[in-house]
Structure formats: structure tokens, C-alpha cells
Amino acid sequence: MKGRRAGAPEKVTRGGVARSKTTNTVREELAVEFYSIVNLALAQYGLTPAQRGKAAKRAMQLTSMPRVSGPVLSDSRDLGALLLEWSRNPLYVDADGKPRVLAIEGKGATFESLAQQFLSHKPLREVLDLICKSAEVVIRPHQRIALVGSVLVNLVGSPEGPLAHTIRQVDQLVQSTLYNIQMHKKGRVDGRMERLVIGTIPRKEFADLMRELQPQIHELLLSADSSLKRRHPTSVEELRAATAVSVGLYVSQENDFERAGIDPATRIKTAQREAKR
């Protein structure tokens, strides 16, 4: 098929803005891209065209953000805090400093105690089901449970979890970017941390790169988590003046160089120059 893809905007030339286009036209095209990302992603999350249409209509009438994704994720956040406690409180770790295998029920250093501390509104069996579905734990004989991996809470198993998680991530990223724009306009440089590295690698090496990055990212996040925990409010008064801070890291892969904003030819020339040096 010749010409543009269905619904695709006229091509914007490399370097930002086509000479013939006004800034407003480009902005509109970017907005179309943004909406497309959301619309097509929602389709992949399983929403029908009718549901997406209805949601878009409702959203256009709103003047402030609805609060849906946060409460959906609240149990997962509590579960994350439970796992962190299990891996960091001296009561729950073994001689190696690793999470101990715990009796599921009972008083003292048991899973029941942890469940009551972090998910007291849920019955123990429900917490157990939740943790078995979404964390790296295994049930052991004699009613015991072991945390065999890291403190990750995997949301893939729940119906709304992945979408809610995506919304939180996009919202956090958008808020940080908007805040930084505001700071820039005021001539201030103390914005929120926002960094990105981008490169091109052979596709077959992606898995290997992930293996290399995984422990580094994991350790960095654990370290950030320790910093947050040290500053956690310890009184109601402190809590009133508190703010939620998140540090997110992700790795993405894009085979469409144009979409990624990369000119591979330039990169190849640079690599060739470096090889000659």
C-alpha cells in the first residue's frame, strides 16, 4: 500500500519540525501519537472499542485526575511492604541475613504476624493466596512458607493490576516531566531526577544485556528503598506532612528506529570511526 499508514500523520522530518509545519500542527500530531499509544495499549489490555470509546468520552469531561489505579494497587503495595519486612527485619531473617522459612500460622515470627501487620483487613488464607500468586515464595511441608527470591510483587496474574500499574508509571513520569518544565520556566534547575539512556544493539544480544543490567537495577532500587525507609514518618504529625516518592526504572526495546527517534546510519558511522581509532 502506497502512502501513509491508516490514520498516520504526515511524516515529521528528522531534527524535530518540518519546515512547512507550524509548531501547533506538530503538537497536534504528537497528541495524536500520545492518544494512539493509550488507545492501542488499552486494546492490548483487553478493552473493547466500545469500552475505550466510552472511557475517552468520560475522560474528556473531567478536569481533575480520578483516583482509581492507586486503590487498585493498594494491596500489592502492602504485600511489597510485607516482603520487605520479611527480608529486612532481624526477627524474620536467618544467620545469612536472608529471609527465614516461616510457620504460616501462629504468634511470634510467623507469616500470620506479617499478614496482620500489613494486610490486617484480609483473612490469612486470602493473603496466602495473594502472595503465592504474585511473589517468589513456595509453600513447604508442615504448613511453612519460604521466600526464595527477591521482594518483587508480580502483578501479571491479577486482572486489573497490570493496567493500574501502567497508569501509575505513566502518571508519575508525566508529573515529573511537567514539574521539570515548570521549574525550567522559572529558571530553576532543581527539578526531579529524570534520565534516559538509549542505544542500538544486535537483537540477539538483548537477553544478554538484560542479564547484565538486572542485578545492577535491582541493587540500585533496593538501595533507593533503604533511603526511603530511613525517612519514613514515625508519627501521625509527620505523616500529615509526608509525600509519596517513587523511583522507577524500566528497560524497553523498540525495533522501529524511526519511532525510537534514532538514525542508525549515524550510529554506524560513529561505531566505524571508533573501530578505526
Q: Alpha-carbon distance 243 to 71, whole Å?
A: 16
Q: Under the criterion CB under 8 A, does residue 141 sit at the interface with other proteins?
A: yes
Q: Cα 222–217–37 angle (5° rounding)? A: 115
Would you put residue 248 in left (φ > 0), alpha (ψ -120 to 50) or beta? beta
Q: Under the criterion CB under 8 A, does residue 96 sit at the interface with other proteins?
A: yes
Check: CB of residue 125 under 8 Å from CB of residue 117: no
Single-letter amino acid code for the residue at 22: T
Q: Alpha-carbon distance 110 to 87, whole Å?
A: 13
Q: Which is nearer to other proteins, 42 or 155 (CB)?
A: 155
- Identify which range of 142-150, 170-178, 239-247, 249-257 contacts other proteins by CB under 8 A: 142-150
We find the least distance from the C-beta atom of residue 122 to other proteins, in angstroms, to be 22
Backbone angles phi, psi at 109, to 5 degrees: -80, 75
- Identify which range of 11-19, 118-126, 149-157, 253-261 contacts other proteins by CB under 8 A: 149-157
Choice from 52, 77, 88, 168 touching other proteins (CB under 8 A): 88
Q: Under the criterion CB under 8 A, does residue 133 sit at the interface with other proteins?
A: no
Single-letter amino acid code for the residue at 100: R
What distance separates the 2 farthest-apart alpha carbons in the chain?
Answer: 73
Q: Which is nearer to other proteins, 133 or 168 (CB)?
A: 133
Q: Under the criterion CB under 8 A, does residue 97 sit at the interface with other proteins?
A: yes
Choice from 11, 27, 98, 188 touching other proteins (CB under 8 A): 98
Q: Give the number of other CB atoms < 10 A from CB of residue 17.
A: 13
Check: CB of residue 146 under 8 Å from CB of residue 98: no
Check: CB of residue 71 under 8 Å from CB of residue 161: no
- Scan residues 206-245 and list those touching other proteins (CB under 8 A): 211-212, 214-216, 218-219, 222-223
We find the least distance from the C-beta atom of residue 151 to other proteins, in angstroms, to be 8
Q: Which is nearer to other proteins, 54 or 229 (CB)?
A: 229
Q: In the complex, which residues of this chain contact other proteins (CB under 8 A)? A: 88, 90, 93-98, 101, 136, 138, 140-141, 144, 146, 148-150, 152, 154, 211-212, 214-216, 218-219, 222-223
